[in-house]
Each structure stands twice: as structure tokens, then as C-alpha cells.
């Protein structure tokens, strides 16, 4: 089965928001803070511009609350007095000519009275740097299992390590863009996004309108990876404000350098592990401290912290675990969702620590993991007993086999001995990813889905799940078609438009196939009942039953509906972070083979193997695409994608200076699936989209350690940083 | 300065009014309403704006429209869709933003298979940044497209 | 903004003579980067050379290969005779940017643009290339090794255009090009090292190590005098004598210095018996 939007994309017919022609559309741009922290003293409009021809919006023009509602309410839509980061939006301007707007934005001078900015999240704030609460802490978490201190006291081995990860830019190929217009009193916003209902909530709140006075439509979206999870709420509000002020449709399309400079990125992390083991290398206790940089506003940070904390101890059985974490403010562009959402950071630290432990105990890294991987019947840090039938040791062994681990290690010893300047090594990572939104977030979402039987006998699936490249429309159509036992050609998937679809929740957290897909199946069952079809009826019988129903009920709509109900076994106590935060976990082991050039300190990945259990695989090509893409992104995060910061904003904010991997930087990714179906997931699927991004960084760092004998503790391992790790000095 | 140029786009002779400051990309998207070619970065590395100019892949964001006078331009809209089957089957497109540019280079490679005697596929497509596929499926799709063309 | 369209190279020279502020436009891969945001560039007057077929030439003279000013990296890559006789030109051409840059980027444009990291200029300099600089007043031939005067400053008067690049037809007994970038393709060089040895002697050119692409004369002398070198560290005085790397967005001076010494040592130890030892 080919993806249903494939030909449209290959022929260039797919219409992204910048491709949609709009009559008498104005162009909008943003005037931003030049300083990382301070108070706006003055805004000066340059003399060379006819400002009367522009629509200008400031905080005073916001009809509702000057706030972008995510979870917290601390982020203004437009700064009016205090600014907390470089590029913070202050004014919006619009004009019929895009060229004129570009010119005019440079002619607005914003004068800031500076205040001392906090630019290193690892350094505790001085009293005059407190900007949130009384301690700059956006969120804290503490998880306890068993008794950690006693276990450390009596342990045969104790190993400690501190690990840091840098930020990462999403670099989706389609820049952020939005179009807003007012039609029949309804403010409509259309554009590139992952979560139409997030944008809808933000608009209702900022514009002070009721839900039916706001409409949000997702346009074809060229990549998201989390970067279009919360930011579109800001751009949507901005575009809508300009549309209201000007009385015109307004388009805002960021160019690449603005997008990279001003939008959220991955949370930087610093994680400290203390690990206690017995003589045979079995985990006795884990004591983990997590510090995340949240940037200037809290946005989604509490959830990123939660996932990081839950995943930090790794997929291992250990009776005594303590995880404490904080996410703190800094005067950087706020950090936000990025594929993995705290788990990549957690697993880099955890899986690098495992190799550090292995070296300290002189145990083979694979064997150390084999001894400690959680078996069915054992529990993870929140007390959740794992009983899913997945053989995580077999997964590890299969990855090693596919990677020719033993044979290659032998070959590398020989190679490294002989070659004047190249060194090869292997490294692995075993890890997990909880599918779906953590903890009670699922209830709060109250996800709902509809499946419509149309008068002509066709089926239409109505959800708010967005296609951003991962294959949503293909998968949901397949699930509906399979459930109704009809051909997928008879199924349409409605474009996510809040005027037509209910809120099935955001397209995040690897939940679409598993959670929304299951709801689609349930809605199909409901539809079947409404047309009084037996469970095995399919094909033309379904078509005939729908047509007959419409003849019997002229003018009515035939809808099957479904609403999310949390599985009984998923119970959660948020304060203690105790219980079952996820109904299912996906598991994986990855093996990286690297080659380091000792002349230049450049590492390259020669081979990469990823073996994973993500439940039932619904479409092989789509699933492989997710794994290869996730691995490549994390290869970039591990080796190439250094964020150079200046005053809390990205200095290398161009694709020529920020090193997203090219086809020459990534080897063929070798992928295998092991399927342990999850009963409450769409056709048995678990989450897959984020899983592959969690492991590569540690696997690569471990491989570099194996190749060179050095001991890296942070990423990215760019040549300069590897030089510093190996020789000292450098930058 | 405004002027009129003549060029051929997807086999059609075109007479276009342009500004001297227009890029070829602007001519295609704004004046000719050919939105298949995308702007991903405006400076070259992403390759999303790749078109074929006088038979060679170029970045349309790095060519002034006036420099395309008298030239033969091929955009994604001009391709025979029946040539795209192997790319589709391989999963070479996910979000679609890099895709039109990739297709322009992919079909060009298939038309010049002798290039593969000196160049690998990965090197030839290195001018296309893709964030979704990790390149594996694109390389497979190009290889199979080349093989299909040979047959 | 205006673009002038000369019908010939001599008309282009005339356009330039009429107003020396006019800017020659070749492949455009540097000039047009970030174009919509670079509104300062929209006010200038340009002279478009890109359609002048008389400049897009590869000519074999008895003692020189002559590349016309509009000859692209791709033109050279595809020329079997150049690949055979002057293979390092093709080796370098395929490391510049990627395909779409190589099909438009010109050797002359790369030279004239005067980036300190210019790969094309580096390999040309290692081949003792000579530039034909032409104006309405006449022409002069300037060796590339004397062309760069400082950061983005060259011997070209602003009424002169490069008409062609002359490369002596010498076979190299030793040739190598090493490029260190931020990734394997599409990377402006952090540093580059070009080495060539022909009947005319050793040529070593460093890119990304000074305000301009530059010869590395003290290393050339070290090689020619067969001075024993036992480690990269022993090359550092030579690096510091002739080169002046800086910290910039891409890299640090310390990295550049150390890595250049290691790359040079490693490369030369493959071809010079007096240079050997551990990295």
C-alpha cells in the first residue's frame, strides 16, 4: 500500500500554506526584542516609511488575554513591558507588499533598558535574576522507589557520572507559516501545524471569543517533529491579530533564518547518575538528578521534565531508584517539544552511564544490559509492573546479531592496530519510550473521533490528527477500512478543520496510530451498530447498508463516534509520579558503528542498526521511514548539530551554518521490527514516531569511546568537542 | 527595473514580465503560479527549490530571473507522473517539502546513468536536505528509478 | 536595481568602465544567498556574464589549460581530459557545495569572491594559475598566488573583469586535497590543504587559515630541504610563521592550527620518507 498523499507530493501538487493564493492578502512580520532581558523603554518608527499604509499591532490591540495559553499562562502573545528573551515578539506589522514589510521591520527601533540576563541554566540565579516564582523553577519532579541510600551504602560498586546534551533545531523543511482571515464573523486561521485544537484554544483565549467564533484549519504541513506543536499557537494568534486590525487576510510566512532564530528548540539537559551495583553487575540502586533548561517561558517544560524523569533510569529492573528533576528559567528563546520530548536527553545520560559502568566493572556493555533489562513481572521506577510479553533481551541479541557485533569488534581491533589515523568502534543503546501522553494528560484531553457514512456509501474519518509526513492519513484510512472490511479506496480522511472535526488530541507523543487509531476503530464499530451490520460483514454489504440507511433517513448524518477511556490498568498519581504513566512501552536496541579520524577528530557513522518492538507494524514502508528519519535526526544531534548561542538566541541560524546531516553524513539505516501487539492500540500498534530518536546519541558516544578510548560525557561530539575530550584544550 | 523575458518552462514558450530583482524562484512561484518548487532556505543548502535549467539541476533561489532568459526550465510540474512509481513505492516522500527538488534531481540522474560510474547516489543528492526520511528510502527510490529507466 | 545584459565580454568591460561600482554577476551562488533579506544588494547595478558563451570554454593550449570565466565546476568535472591531465581540479570541484552549486558556480567567481575558504581558488593556486584581468584599457596576467592582498581585497581593479584562468600544463607527481568541514557535503571549508608537486616544485596552499587563501611557503621549504619531521607538533612553528587562523562561527583558531598540522603531517608522511612518526 502506497501512502495516499505520495503522488500529490511527488508531483508538487500538494499545497502548503505558502502555496495557497489569496486575493488581496497582506503580509505580516514581527518586530522583536533585541535584548535578552529588560523593559521596553521606547519604540521608534523610522522616518523613511509611510506607516499609515501599514497595519500595526501591539499588546494593546489584543482583545482577550495577552497570553499564549499552553498549560501555564506566563507567555505573552506580545511583550508590552518586560522582555525575557532575544527575538521576543513585541509588535506586528502588515502591508500588501511583502518587500515593503521586510524593509519596514528593520525601520522599527526597539529600545530596551537592560536587566541582568540569566544565560547559563546550570548556574543558580542571583536574586536579581529571579523572573518566575521565587526560584525560577518552572517545575519539579521527584520519584522514589525502594530505599536508595541504604542500597548505596552496602553496594560492591558505585559509579557516578554527569552528562550534558545540547539543544537541537527541528529544521523541518517547510518554515512556519499561517494565514488568517475573518469570514462571517468567524476568525479563521489556516497553516502549518501539528495541533489545530491547541491553536484553537490559544485563539479563543487571546481573542476573547467563543469557540464557535474561531476556526482553525491545518494546511499541508512540511514536517513538525514537535516544532509545530506549540509554536503555531503564537503564529496563529499573531496572524489573527493582524487580520483583525487590517480587515484583510494576512499571511505570515517565516523565512528560514527567522524560523531558526525565533522558534523553540530541544531542552538542553544536564543529568547526574549515581549507580550502585552488586558484584555480578546487577543494579542495586540508581540516584538520578535532572536539570533542564526551559528558556524564558514555561510552555511545555513540565511535561518534558516528567517524561525525562520517568525514562531516566532506563529499561532496567532496579528495586531502589530515586529521580529528582527540575526545569528552570533562562533568558533564552523558550525551549519546546522535540521528538522524544525529554526521553532522548534521559537516554543519552542513562545509556552512556551504562557503558561507563561497564568499563568500571570490566563487564562487556552488552552483557551488563542483558543482566539488567527488565523482564516481565518486574517493575520500572514508577512502580509499574511490565507484563507485555516483549522479550527485551532477545531484542538486544537480535540487534547485536544484525550488527555483526562480535565479528566487527574483532575486525576493529585489527583495523585500529594497523591504520595510521582511523579508529573504528561499536556502541549500543537499549531503551524504551512510553507510548502516548504521560500520566493523566490523556484524561484531560478527552479525545473524540467520528467516522461518517456518506450518502454515496463512502466513509469519511474525522479526527484532529494531522499529517505532517509520518503517514497519518494513510494509517487512519487503513485502520478504518480494515475495521469495516472495505477497500481503503472507499475511505476519505477529512482535513483537520475545527469546524468539522472534534478534538481527538494533539499529534504528539507517538499517539496517533495507537490512541487515535484505536478510537477510529471504535467509531467504526459504532457506525456498524448504527446500520445494524454484523461484525463480519464487509465490502459491498457495508456500502449497501450505508446507502440504505441514508434512504431511510433523508437529510440526516450517519456518524459513528468514539471517546477515549483510559485503560483501567493505567492509574497515575501525579505528585508522587507513581503508577502506570503509559499504557504501553515500545522497546529498542540500537547499535552504531563509527569511524573516527584522528587527524581531524571527525567521527562518522559507518553502519547503524535499529531493532524495535513498537507493537503491530501497520505499514512497513511508513514504519521504516519513521525509524530511518528519527535515527538520522539523532545522528545529527549527536555529531553535527551544535547550537551556538549568543545572548540566549541561536547565532548559527542558517542551514549553511547549522549542520543538519546530508545524505553523505548518514549511512543506510538497517531496521528490523519485532511485533508484540498492544491490545488497546489501533490494530495492536504502540507508538513509534519518537522511539528511534532516543538511542542514537548514546550508541554513537559509546562507539566513539570504544574506537578511541576517550570518555565523552556530552553531545554534540563535533570535531572540536571531540578534540577537547581527547586532548584537552580547544573551544 | 521591469523588463520582459522569453524562456521555455516545461516545454512551453513563456513571455514573462519580471523585475530585475526577481529570482527565478519568484518568477516560477509568483508570476507563473507554479507552486511545486518550494523555498526552504533561500540560500542554497536545502535544495528544495531545485529545478533543471538547460538540462542541469540548479537552485532556483540562486538564479536571477533575468539570468534565465532564453533558457529551458523544467519544474516538478513538467514531469511524467508515470516515472515516479519507484520513488512512491520506496517511501521517498514523507512530508513533501523537500520532495519536488529531490524529484528534479532523481529523474535527472535516471536520465544520465553514466554519472553513477563516477558518483554515488548519495553524493549526487547531497544538495537536498531531508529531515523526514533519513535518506535511506530516497536512495533506494533513486536507484530503482535508474534501474527502471534502463529497462 | 538594474541588471545590464552585455552581448559580449568586451561590452561587459565597457559597462564596467562606465561605472566602476557595477557588480559582475556570474553563477550567483554567493551573491544571491539570502537575497530577499539582503535588500542592501537590491540597489546596485549588475552586469550579467552568465549567458556569454564565449566565456564558457575549456581550451587546451600548448602549455596551459585555459578556463573561460563562466566555466563552472561541473564543466570541469565532466571533462575527461581535465580529469586525466589535471585530476586534482576535478577532485576539488566535486567537494564544493553540492551538485546544484557545482552546476552554476564558476571558477572565476570563486576566485573573485575571495573567500578565505575558497576551495576553487586553493587548488588553482596550487597549480600556479594565472588570471587574465581585462579592462577597456588593456589586459594583464596576474598569478593567483599574488592576487590576494588581505581579507576580501584583491589585485583586481574594480574596472577589471577576469576573462580566463590559465593553468600551466604540468603533471603532478604528488597531489592531494584535504577539506575539513562541518559535515561531509555542503560545507564551507573550516580549513583546507592542497598539496602539489610538479617539475616546478612543491606547492602547498592553505584555506580557512588566513584572511585569504594562501601559499604556505615555510612548509614548502621544509619539504624541499628534506628536513626530518617526526610529529605534527614539529609543524606548528611553520603553521604559525605563515598562517593566522581565527575563531569564527564555524571553528576556533586552536582547532584549525592543530588539525592543519595533523593533516599536513599525515599527508606528507605518505609521500616524503623524511616525514614520519606517530600522529
B23: contact with C, CB 8 A cutoff: yes
Q: H-helix or E-strand containing A188?
A: strand A186-191
Instruction: Answer yes or no: do A723 and C36 touch at CB < 8 A.
Output: no
Instruction: Answer yes or no: do C103 and B23 touch at CB < 8 A.
Output: no
Instruction: Answer yes or no: do C37 and A257 touch at CB < 8 A.
Output: yes
Residue C20 forms part of a structural domain: no
Q: A206 near A65, Cβ under 8 Å? A: yes
Q: Among A3-7, A536-540, A573-577, which is the least confidently predicted range?
A: A573-577
| Of the partner residues B97, B123, B134, the one whose CB lies closest to the CB of residue A632 | B134
How, if at all, do strands A89-95 and A26-32 pair?
A: antiparallel
A629: contact with B, CB 8 A cutoff: yes
d(CA A284, CA C242): 59
CA distances to A276, A614, A630, C119 from A434, rounded to whole Å, are 25, 10, 16, 48
Are residue B125 and residue B106 in the same domain, yes or no? yes
Chain B interface disruption, residue of A1, A6, A604, most B CBs within 10 A: A6
Residue of A nearest to C252 (CA): A731
Which mean pLDDT values do the consecutive 10-residue runs of chain C (279 residues) have? 97 98 97 94 96 98 98 97 98 97 98 97 98 98 98 97 98 97 94 98 98 98 98 98 95 97 98 94
Work out the end-to-end distance of chain B between its first and last CA atoms, rounded to an integer number of angstroms: 49
Report, as an integer, the average pLDDT of B99-110. Answer: 98
Sheet with A38-45: list strands edge to edge.
A82-83, A38-45, A108-114
Which cell numbers in the block locate residue A522? 471504535
CA distances to A224, A675, A677 from A618, rounded to whole Å, are 21, 10, 11
Q: A622 near A474, Cβ under 8 Å? A: yes
At what angle are helices A517-530 and A472-484 packed, to 10 degrees? 30
d(CA A173, CA A221): 10
Contacts of B58 in chain C (CB under 8 A): 100, 103-104
Homologous superfamily of A23-115+189-222+231-246: Aldehyde oxidase/xanthine dehydrogenase, a/b hammerhead (3.90.1170.50)
The domain tally of chain B equals 2
Per-residue model confidence (pLDDT) at position A441: 72
B139: contact with A, CB 8 A cutoff: yes
| Of the partner residues B20, B47, B67, the one whose CB lies closest to the CB of residue C100 | B47
Residue of B nearest to C77 (CA): B118
Per-residue model confidence (pLDDT) at position A439: 80
Work out the end-to-end distance of chain A between its first and last CA atoms, rounded to an integer number of angstroms: 50
d(CA B146, CA B148): 5
Backbone angles phi, psi at C255, to 5 degrees: -65, -45
Question: Residue A646: which residues within 8 A CB-CB, separation 6 or more?
Answer: none
How, if at all, do strands A669-673 and A602-613 pair?
A: parallel
Per-residue model confidence (pLDDT) at position A440: 67
Q: Among A319-328, A435-444, A688-697, which is the least confidently predicted range?
A: A435-444
Are residue B18 and residue B66 in the same domain, yes or no? yes
Q: A197 near A70, Cβ under 8 Å? A: no
C10: contact with B, CB 8 A cutoff: no
Per-residue model confidence (pLDDT) at position A728: 67
SS3 (DSSP) at C252: coil
Are residue B46 and residue B87 in the same domain, yes or no? no
CA distances to A272, A381, A695 from A281, rounded to whole Å, are 20, 19, 22
**CATH of segment(s) A447-563:** 3.30.365.10
Contacts of A604 in chain C (CB under 8 A): 184
Domain A269-437+576-727 part of CATH 3.60.20.10: no
Residue A393's CB is within 10 A of a number of other CB atoms, namely 16
Identify the domain containing residue C224 by its residue range. Answer: 174-271
| Of the partner residues A468, A632, A668, the one whose CB lies closest to the CB of residue B95 | A468
Q: Does ipTM come in above 0.90?
A: yes
Q: Which B residues 40-59 touch C at CB under 8 Å?
A: 42-45, 47, 50, 53, 56-59
Instruction: Answer yes or no: do C74 and B56 touch at CB < 8 A.
Output: yes
Residue C247 forms part of a structural domain: yes
Residue A568's pLDDT band (cuts 50, 70, 90): confident
How, if at all, do strands A38-45 and A269-277 pair?
A: unpaired
Instruction: Answer yes or no: do A172 and B97 touch at CB < 8 A.
Output: yes
Residue whose cell numbers read 536520465: B111
A16: contact with B, CB 8 A cutoff: yes
Per-residue model confidence (pLDDT) at position A730: 39
At what angle are helices A196-207 and A231-246 packed, to 10 degrees? 50
Per-residue model confidence (pLDDT) at position A72: 80
Last residue of a domain, one of B77, B103, B122: B77
Chain C interface disruption, residue of B48, B64, B106, B111, most C CBs within 10 A: B64
Per DSSP, which regions of A242-374 are E strands? 250-253, 269-277, 283-295, 320-329
CA distances to B47, B82, C100, C110, C190 from C186, rounded to whole Å, are 11, 31, 10, 15, 12
Contacts of B105 in chain C (CB under 8 A): 99-100
Chains that touch C (3 or more CB pairs under 8 A): A, B
Chain B interface disruption, residue of C40, C77, C95, C99, most B CBs within 10 A: C99
Closest C-alpha to A276, from A162, A364, A353: A353
How large a percentage of chain A has pLDDT more than 70? 99
SS3 (DSSP) at A329: strand
Which cell numbers in the block locate residue A37? 532581558
Contacts of B133 in chain A (CB under 8 A): 625, 628-629, 632
The domain tally of chain C equals 1
Last residue of a domain, one of B77, B103, B135: B77
Question: Residue C222: which residues within 8 A CB-CB, separation 6 or more?
Answer: C229, C235, C238
d(CA C93, CA A459): 55
Q: Which A residues 461-480 touch B at CB under 8 Å?
A: 468-471
Question: Rg for chain A (alpha carbons), in Å?
Answer: 26
| Of the partner residues A223, A622, A628, the one whose CB lies closest to the CB of residue B95 | A223
Residue A438 has pLDDT above 90, yes or no: no
Report, as an integer, the average pLDDT of A229-238. Answer: 98
Per-residue model confidence (pLDDT) at position B71: 98
Per-residue model confidence (pLDDT) at position A279: 95
Identify the domain containing residue B92 by its residue range. Answer: 79-150
Backbone angles phi, psi at A159, to 5 degrees: -130, 135
Instruction: Answer yes or no: do A659 and C262 touch at CB < 8 A.
Output: no
Contacts of C34 in chain B (CB under 8 A): 42-43
Residue whose cell numbers read 541588471: C3
Q: Where are the domains of chain A?
A: 23-115+189-222+231-246, 269-437+576-727, 447-563
> What CATH number should be reported for the domain holding residue C183?
3.30.390.50
Per-residue model confidence (pLDDT) at position A23: 87
Are residue B124 and residue B109 in the same domain, yes or no? yes
Residue C143 forms part of a structural domain: no
Residue C126 forms part of a structural domain: no
Residue A543's CB is within 10 A of a number of other CB atoms, namely 19
What is chain A's mean pLDDT, rounded? Answer: 96
Distance from CA of B74 to the nearest CA of A (A): 13
Are residue B86 and residue B132 in the same domain, yes or no? yes
Residue A460 has pLDDT above 80, yes or no: yes
Report, as an integer, the average pLDDT of A504-517. Answer: 94
| Of the partner residues C183, C250, C258, the one whose CB lies closest to the CB of residue A662 | C183
Buried b (16+ CB within 10 A) or exposed e, B102-125: bbbbbbbbbeeeebeeebebbbbb
Distance from CA of A214 to the nearest CA of B (A): 27
Q: A105 near A29, Cβ under 8 Å? A: yes
> What CATH number should be reported for the domain holding residue B84?
1.10.150.120
Residue A568's CB is within 10 A of a number of other CB atoms, namely 8
Question: Could you give the angle at the alpha carbon of A319 between the alpha carbons of A317 and A325, nearest 5°?
Answer: 90
Last residue of a domain, one of B77, B112, B142: B77
Are residue B73 and residue B115 in the same domain, yes or no? no
Report, as an integer, the average pLDDT of A564-570. Answer: 79
Instruction: Answer yes or no: do B44 and C29 touch at CB < 8 A.
Output: yes
Residue C182 forms part of a structural domain: yes
Cis peptide upstream of residue A530 (ω within 30 degrees of 0): no
Cis peptide upstream of residue A716 (ω within 30 degrees of 0): yes
Which cell numbers in the block locate residue A3? 501512502
| Of the partner residues B19, B23, B57, the one whose CB lies closest to the CB of residue C32 | B23
Contacts of C188 in chain A (CB under 8 A): 656
Report, as an integer, the average pLDDT of A221-248. Answer: 98
Closest C-alpha to A427, from A352, A497, A377, A488: A352
B37: contact with C, CB 8 A cutoff: no
What's the pLDDT tens digit per position in A153-192?
A: 999 999 999 999 999 999 999 999 999 999 999 999 999 9
Burial class (CB in 10 A: 0-12, 13-18, 19+), B14: middle
Residue C222 forms part of a structural domain: yes
What's the pLDDT tens digit per position in C202-241?
A: 999 999 999 999 999 999 999 999 999 999 999 999 999 9
Q: A395 near A674, Cβ under 8 Å? A: yes
Which cell numbers in the block locate residue A506? 494533539
Q: DSSP for A114-183?
A: E------TTSPPPGGG--STTT-EEEEEEEEES-HHHHHHT-SEEEEEEEEE-------SSPPEEEEEEE
Q: Among A139-143, A224-228, A676-680, B125-129, which is the least confidently predicted range?
A: A676-680
Amino acid at each position: 500500500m502506497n501512502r495516499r498523499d505520495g503522488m500529490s507530493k511527488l508531483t508538487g501538487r500538494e499545497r502548503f500554506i505558502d502555496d495557497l493564493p489569496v486575493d488581496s492578502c497582506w503580509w505580516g512580520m514581527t518586530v522583536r526584542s533585541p535584548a535578552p532581558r529588560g523593559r521596553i523603554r521606547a519604540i521608534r518608527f523610522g522616518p523613511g516609511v509611510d506607516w499609515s499604509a501599514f497595519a500595526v499591532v501591539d499588546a494593546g490591540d489584543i482583545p482577550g488575554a495577552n497570553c499564549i495559553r499552553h498549560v501555564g499562562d506566563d507567555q505573552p502573545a506580545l511583550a508590552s513591558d518586560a522582555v525575557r528573551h532575544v527575538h521576543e515578539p513585541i509588535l506586528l506589522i502588515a502591508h500588501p507588499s511583502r518587500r515593503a514589510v521586510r524593509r519596514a521591520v528593520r525601520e522599527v527601533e526597539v529600545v530596551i533598558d537592560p536587566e541582568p540576563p540569566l544565560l547559563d541554566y546550570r548556574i543558580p540565579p542571583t536574586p536579581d535574576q529571579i523572573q518566575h516564582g521565587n526560584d525560577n523553577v518552572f517545575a519539579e519532579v521527584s520519584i522514589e522507589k525502594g530505599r536508595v541510600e541504604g542500597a548505596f551504602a552496602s553496594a560492591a560498586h558505585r559509579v557516578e557520572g554527569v552528562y550534558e546534551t545540547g539543544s537541537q533545531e527541528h529544521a523541518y523543511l517547510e518554515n512556519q507559516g499561517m494565514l488568517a482571515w475573518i469570514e462571517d464573523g468567524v476568525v479563521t486561521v489556516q497553516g502549518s501545524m501539528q495541533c489545530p485544537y491547541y491553536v484553537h484554544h490559544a485563539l479563543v483565549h487571546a481573542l476573547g471569543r467563543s469557540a464557535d467564533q474561531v476556526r482553525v484549519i491545518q494546511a499541508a504541513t512540511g514536517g513538525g517533529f514537535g516544532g509545530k506543536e506549540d509554536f503555531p499557537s503564537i503564529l496563529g494568534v499573531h496572524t489573527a491579530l493582524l487580520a483583525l486590525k487590517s480587515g484583510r487576510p494576512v499571511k505570515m510566512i517565516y523565512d528560514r533564518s527567522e524560523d531558526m532564530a525565533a522558534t523553540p528548540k530541544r531542552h538542553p539537559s544536564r543529568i547526574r547518575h549515581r549507580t550502585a551495583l552488586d558484584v555480578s553487575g546487577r543494579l542495586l540502586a540508581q540516584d538520578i538528578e535532572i536539570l533542564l533548561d526551559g528558556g524564558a517561558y514555561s510552555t511545555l517544560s513540565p511535561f518534558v521534565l516528567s517524561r525525562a524523569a520517568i525514562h531516566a533510569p532506563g529499561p532496567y529492573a532496579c528495586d531502589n531508584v530515586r529521580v529528582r528533576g527540575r526545569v528552570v528559567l533562562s533568558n533564552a528563546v523558550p525551549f519546546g517539544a522535540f521528538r522524544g520530548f525529554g526521553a532522548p536527553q534521559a537516554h543519552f545520560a542513562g545509556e552512556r552511564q551504562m557503558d561507563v559502568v561497564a568499563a568500571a566493572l570490566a563487564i562487556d556493555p552488552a552483557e551488563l544490559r542483558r543482566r539488567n533489562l527488565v523482564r516481565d513481572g518486574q517493575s520500572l521506577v514508577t512502580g509499574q509492573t511490565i507484563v507485555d510479553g516483549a522479550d527485551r533481551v532477545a531484542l538486544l541479541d537480535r540487534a547485536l546479531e544484525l550488527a555483526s557485533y562480535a565479528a566487527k569488534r574483532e575486525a576493529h581491533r585489527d583495523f585500529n592496530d594497523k591504520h595510521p589515523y582511523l579508529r573504528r568502534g561499536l556502541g549500543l543503546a537499549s531503551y524504551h519510550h512510553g507510548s502516548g501522553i504521560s500520566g493523566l494528560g490523556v484524561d484531560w484531553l478527552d479525545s473524540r473521533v467520528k467516522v461518517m457514512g456518506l450518502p454515496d456509501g463512502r466513509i469519511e474519518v474525522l479526527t484532529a490528527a494531522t499529517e505532517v509526513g509520518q503517514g497519518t492519513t494513510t494509517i487512519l484510512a487503513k485502520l478504518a477500512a480494515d475495521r469495516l472490511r472495505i477497500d481503503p479506496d472507499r475511505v476519505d480522511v477529512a482535513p483537520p478543520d475545527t469546524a468539522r472535526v472534534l478534538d481527538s488530541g494533539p499529534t504528539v507523543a507517538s499517539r496517533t496510530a495507537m490512541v487515535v487509531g484505536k478510537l477510529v476503530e471504535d467509531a467504526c464499530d459504532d457506525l456498524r451498530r448504527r446500520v445494524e451490520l454484523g461484525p463480519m460483514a464487509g465490502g459491498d454489504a457495508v456500502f449497501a447498508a450505508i446507502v440504505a440507511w441514508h434512504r431511510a433517513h433523508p437529510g440526516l448524518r450517519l456518524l459513528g463516534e468514539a471517546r477515549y477511556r483510559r485503560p483501567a490498568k493505567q492509574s497515575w498519581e501525579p505528585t508522587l509520579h507513581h503508577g502506570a504513566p503509559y499504557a504501553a512501552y515500545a522497546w529498542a536496541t540500537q547499535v552504531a558503528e563509527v569511524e573516527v579520524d584522528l587527524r581531524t577528530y571527525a567521527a562518522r557513522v559507518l553502519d547503524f542498526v535499529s531493532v524495535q518492538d513498537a507493537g503491530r507494524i501497520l505499514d512497513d514502508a511508513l514504519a521504516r521511514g519513521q525509524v530511518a528519519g528519527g535515527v538520522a535526526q539523532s545522528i545529527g544531534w549527536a555529531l553535527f548539530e551544535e547550537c551556538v548561542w549568543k545572548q540566549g538566541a541561536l547565532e548559527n541560524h542558517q542551514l549553511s551554518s547549522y549542520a543538519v546531516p546530508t545524505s553523505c553524513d548518514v549511512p543506510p539505516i538497517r531496521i528490523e521490527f519485532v511485533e508484540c501487539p498492544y491490545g488497546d492500540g489501533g490494530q495492536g500498534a504502540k507508538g513509534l514516531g519518537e522511539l528511534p530518536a532516543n538511542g542514537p546519541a548514546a550508541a554513537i558516544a559509546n562507539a566513539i569511546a570504544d574506537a578511541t578510548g576517550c570518555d565523552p560525557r556530552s553531545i554534540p561530539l563535533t570535531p572540536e568537542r571531540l578534540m577537547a575530550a581527547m586532548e584537552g584544550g580547544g573551544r | 527595473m521591469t523588463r520582459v523575458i522569453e524562456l521555455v518552462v516545461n516545454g512551453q514558450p513563456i513571455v514573462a514580465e519580471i523585475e530585475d530583482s526577481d529570482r527565478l524562484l519568484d518568477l516560477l512561484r509568483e508570476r507563473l503560479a507554479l507552486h511545486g518548487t518550494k523555498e526552504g532556505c533561500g540560500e542554497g543548502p536545502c535544495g528544495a527549490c531545485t529545478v533543471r535549467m538547460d538540462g542541469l539541476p540548479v537552485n532556483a533561489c540562486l538564479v536571477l530571473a533575468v539570468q534565465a532568459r532564453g533558457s529551458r526550465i523544467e519544474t516538478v510540474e513538467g514531469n511524467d507522473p508515470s516515472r515516479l512509481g519507484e520513488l512512491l513505492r520506496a517511501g521517498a516522500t514523507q512530508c513533501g517539502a523537500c520532495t519536488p527538488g529531490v524529484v528534479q534531481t532523481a529523474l535527472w540522474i535516471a536520465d544520465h546513468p553514466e554519472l553513477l560510474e563516477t558518483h554515488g547516489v548519495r553524493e549526487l543528492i547531497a544538495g537536498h536536505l531531508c529531515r523526514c526520511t533519513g535518506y535511506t528510502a530516497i536512495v533506494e527510490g533513486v536507484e530503482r528509478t535508474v534501474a527502471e529507466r534502463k529497462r | 536595481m538594474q541588471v545590464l545584459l552585455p552581448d559580449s565580454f568586451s561590452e561587459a568591460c565597457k559597462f564596467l568602465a562606465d561605472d566602476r561600482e557595477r557588480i559582475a554577476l556570474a553563477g550567483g551562488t554567493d551573491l544571491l544567498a539570502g537575497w530577499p533579506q539582503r535588500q542592501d544588494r537590491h540597489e546596485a547595478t549588475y552586469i550579467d556574464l552568465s549567458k556569454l558563451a564565449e566565456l564558457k570554454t575549456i581550451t587546451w593550449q600548448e602549455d596551459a589549460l585555459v578556463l573561460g570565466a563562466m566555466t563552472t565546476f561541473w564543466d570541469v568535472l565532466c571533462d575527461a581530459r581535465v580529469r586525466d591531465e589535471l585530476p586534482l581540479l576535478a577532485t576539488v570541484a566535486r567537494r564544493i557545495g553540492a551538485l546544484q552549486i557545482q552546476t552554476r558556480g564558476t571558477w572565476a567567481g570563486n576566485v573573485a569572491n575571495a573567500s578565505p575558504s575558497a576551495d576553487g581558488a586553493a587548488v588553482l593556486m596550487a597549480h600556479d594559475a594565472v588570471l587574465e584581468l581585462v579592462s577597456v584599457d588593456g589586459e594583464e596576467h596576474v598569478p593567483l598566488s599574488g592576487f590576494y592582498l588581505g581579507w576580501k581585497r584583491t589585485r583586481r581593479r574594480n574596472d577589471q573583469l577576469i576573462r580566463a584562468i590559465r593553468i600551466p600544463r604540468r603533471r603532478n607527481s604528488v597531489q592531494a586535497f584535504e577539506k575539513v568541514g562541518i559535515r561531509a557535503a555542503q560545507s564551507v571549508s573550516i580549513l583546507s590543504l592542497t598539496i602539489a608537486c610538479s617539475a616546478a616544485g612543491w606547492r602547498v596552499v592553505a584555506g580557512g587559515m588566513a584572511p585569504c587563501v594562501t601559499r604556505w611557503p615555510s612548509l614548502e621549504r621544509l619539504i624541499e630541504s628534506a628536513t626530518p619531521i617526526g610529529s605534527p607538533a614539529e609543524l606548528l612553528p611553520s603553521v604559525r610563521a605563515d598562517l593566522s587562523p581565527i575563531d569564527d562561527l564555524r571553528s576556533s583558531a586552536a582547532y584549525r592550527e592543530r588539525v592543519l598540522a595533523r593533516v599536513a603531517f599525515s599527508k606528507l608522511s605518505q609521500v616524503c620518507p623524511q616525514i614520519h612518526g606517530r600522529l
